[in-house]
Structure 1
């Protein structure tokens, strides 16, 4: 069951979808789904409903709210069209890790307002993957599980790269890596693994051989049903174990 809310942050109003179990069961466990680059849309809501039906209150916030009205974008064509590609890149650049980390305090409060007052998880896809890990580091008392699927730049040279925060993460972490992904090459995977080990983080990094960046989300052109089902199995197991 989905309904829309507005969340007041330090910088304005972020729209968000709240998704609860279809059977109406009450739960205090919460999950924030950090979107990919194409914005909140039906594909993410459907994924959120599946997570909710496993016993969670799910929040899907619009991370691009500072950029004003937009799309959502078509995941199959947006980067292939010059106008939408330019707009997307500017919105991604304007939505820094720090902005999302700061917003996440309001997201956590919004979940509590919807009944999710217990442990929560952060889950991210594409650009959301790094944000899920960063939120886990920023709010270790609340975030008990964090997952990234085909997340990009998780261990880059940037000053705000999530791997730099590993020693602040107390959550159980799962990272699902696309088999071929220029935004997260093998050297970054190795760097992330070393940072998580050094930080004492309970974690797993799994390579989805043959999967392309975006494989888990149904409206992507590279969507792979078997790979997506595998991702759901890993994610729901993580949530059950950690929350």
Structure 2
């Protein structure tokens, strides 16, 4: 069950989709909140379908538009990056939406669950650009976020000052990172750096390499979507939330 809402975010009004279970298997009082941070192609039917599957497993899922500062754009799909014009617009918005911006927006995202009477710890999950934001949120709001997952997330342990690995000592959540087998946005040296930071920071974490998967494998409308890899991702994600958000 989907409902489009408007959120008074840090720098304006952000559109978002709020997704609840289509079934009645889990009573409202037992539902847990999850923020799904989009990939660079923005909110769209593919992500809403993923949110619905997550919701039907016992969650209330928020899919916010992180590019709201740019007004209307797109619409894009998982293959839009292959179009020169679309890619230029996507890169402009991606480069103009910092980690700090999304971190500040997340305070308003979390407030949605309070309004919806969704109690208990919150989970985050992000894909592509959203992966780093899911981890950064866990560091910024450690008393609210109990689980955070990144799938084919880029630049999780880069040289940038806002790289998520620098925040590891602030994270209380359980962390899962699913890595594409070959991904220039998250090369092996970054994976090693992230693992060291999380271990040194005392974070309960798993970093798992999905051999043979390409960047974007878990999102259905990507050209590199892989059903086997996607189902493995669902198993890991639902297990993480079942255990950490109970």
Deviations 1:151-184 (A, max 9, x none): 0000000000000000000000000000000000
Q: CA deviation at 1:115?
A: 2.3
Structure-1-length-normalised TM-score = 0.98
TM-score, structure 2 normalization: 0.97
Tell me which residue corresponds to 1:160: 162
Aligned match of 1:16:
16
CA contact (8 A) 1:57 1:114 kept: no
- Residues of 2 paired with 1:74 and 1:174: CA distance? 26
Residues 1:110 and 2:119 aligned together: no
- Aligned equivalents of 1:181 and 1:33: distance in 2? 21
Structure 1 residue runs without a partner (length 5+): none
Q: Deviations over 1:87-127 (max 9, x none)?
A: 11000011100000000000000122122221100100000
| 1:68-217 equivalence runs, <5 A | 68-76=71-79, 78-217=80-219
RMSD of aligned residue pairs (Cα, Å): 0.8
Counterpart-to-counterpart distance in 2, 1:94 and 1:112 = 29
In 1, are the aligned partners of 2:12 and 2:69 still within 8 Å (CA)?
Answer: yes
Query: Take 2:36 and 2:86, find their aligned partners in 1: how far apart are those partners?
Result: 23
* Secondary structure at the counterpart of residue 21 of structure 1: coil
- CA contact 2:74–2:86 (8 Å) conserved in 1: no
Cα offset, 1:74, TM superposition: 2.2
Deviates more, 1:79-88 or 1:54-63: 79-88
Secondary structure of the structure 1 residue equivalent to 2:62: strand
Task: Supply the distance in 2 between the matched residues of 1:63 and 1:9 (Cα, whole angstroms).
Answer: 10
Tell me, in whole angstroms, the C-alpha distance in 2 between the residues paired with 1:112 and 1:227. Answer: 34
Residue 119 of structure 2 aligns to a residue in which SS? coil
Give distance in 2, aligned partners of 1:158 and 1:66. Answer: 23
| Cα deviation 1:210-232 (Å, max 9, x = unaligned) | 00000000000000000000000
> Offset of 1:72 from its aligned partner?
2.6
For the pair 1:39 / 2:42, whether they are aligned, the reply is yes
Report the number of matched residues: 242
In the alignment, the residues of structure 1 paired with residue 74 and residue 86 of structure 2 have an alpha-carbon distance, to the nearest angstrom, of 9
Q: Distance in 2 between matches of 1:146 and 1:10?
A: 22
Q: Which residue of 2 aligns with 1:236?
A: 238
Query: Contact conserved, 1:33 with 1:61, CA < 8 A, in 2?
Result: yes
